[in-house]
Amino acid sequence: MANLRPPGGYLKEDTQRRKEWLEKKTGFHIDETAPDDPEVLKGIIENHIGYISIPMAIAGPLKIEGTYAKGEFYIPLCTLEGTLSKSMTRGFYLTYSSDGIKTKHIKQELSRSPLFIFEDFDKANIFYQWIDQNYEEIKKSAESTTNYGKLLRIDKYPIQNSIILDFVYYTAEAAGQNITTIATHEACLFIKKKFSNQYDFQYQYYIESNFSGDKNPAYRTLLHGRGHHVIASALIKGKLLRRILRMSANDAVVSWAQSSPASQMAGVLGKNMHVSNALASLYLATGQDVACVAENSVGIVSYELRNDDDLLMFLAMPSISVGTVGGGTRLNQQRKNLEMLRCTGKDSSKKLAEIVCASALALELSLAGAIRSDEFAQSHAHYGRK
């Protein structure tokens, strides 16, 4: 199984060997891609002045059995942190040798949460009832602006003399941030016009109250999810844990239990060590909105002892904001990476979300071993410095 992992080395010829290795594994030839013409950057960036190179690595193979992602995948990563791609590959190797990672796609929901402010709570209550009575027309208005978005529901939250309307959408292959904003704005204009024709009330509205948790780590996201909600798991054989990570299953369970109070004391939202590392590197490589890492990193890791010697690991990620159309996904290299991951076409955003969750699980597992075996500092000294 030695040839499972990418060839090592830092020389120019080592990079070429990895490209050849990857082409044999996937059929994709990775070469230097010319920068995208400025004309195609509309909708991606303003005031464009040039390009900056970010190194790209490959990690794998990821063996996955998911709702949408099935088979072997080789994961492109853009990062400036030494050890990351090596560590993720180690997690992939360990899980591959233990029958892979299972993933379950739970749902896909993205919200935008405008705030309506009235003179008093009696008027706010009338508005609260009016929204339910006119929901179908509001839905039609919102969906008139998009080919991908479907309004699933409007959740209402009264606050004194104000009402938060949480517009919750399904966004198909799009990540959906612009879809939800434009659709909700259209719905708010419709509400303003029709409600004002029926009631002579003074009120004000803001398109976003910050209740949605957009680009913020939030308890709402933990409870209800935002974007794709995916759960990943892997059952790792005890003998492989001891050989590759130099720890036992019981070591992993005990050390994670001991770390939990420290996380609580620090006020960490979610329960993981560095899910954000996997997210940022994969998001850059596949053209996602990297700022979403802030809200997407609230994953919850857990470990269980199974069969006396094996380790069952879970990673629940209620928020993965990825898409396979729009935004940076149309850039040349990012598009090639999505094609290499076989993440194009119907249900490809769900497939990509499962790959992201599985990759984060592998990275978390490798770090757990490095900390428990006291190799964390040593590995960064070796791979994280020149």
Active site amino acids: 81, 289, 380
3-state secondary structure of 117: strand
- Measure the CA–CA gap between 64 and 74, rounded to whole angstroms: 11
How much is the CA Rg of the chain, to the nearest whole Å? 23
Whether the CA torsion 198, 203, 208, 212 is positive or negative: it is negative
- Measure the CA–CA gap between 53 and 83, rounded to whole angstroms: 19
Whether the CA torsion 101, 107, 108, 110 is positive or negative: it is negative
Q: Are 316 and 231 in contact (CB under 8 A)?
A: yes
Q: Are 78 and 55 in contact (CB under 8 A)?
A: yes
CA nearest 302: which of 270, 268, 266?
A: 270
CA–CA distances in Å: residue 105 to residues 60, 95, 129, 270, 309: 21, 19, 34, 19, 29
* End-to-end CA gap in the chain: 29
Characterize 16-40 residue by residue with b for buried, 16 or more Cβ atoms within 10 angstroms of its Cβ, and e for exposed.
eebbebbeebbeeebeeeeebeeee
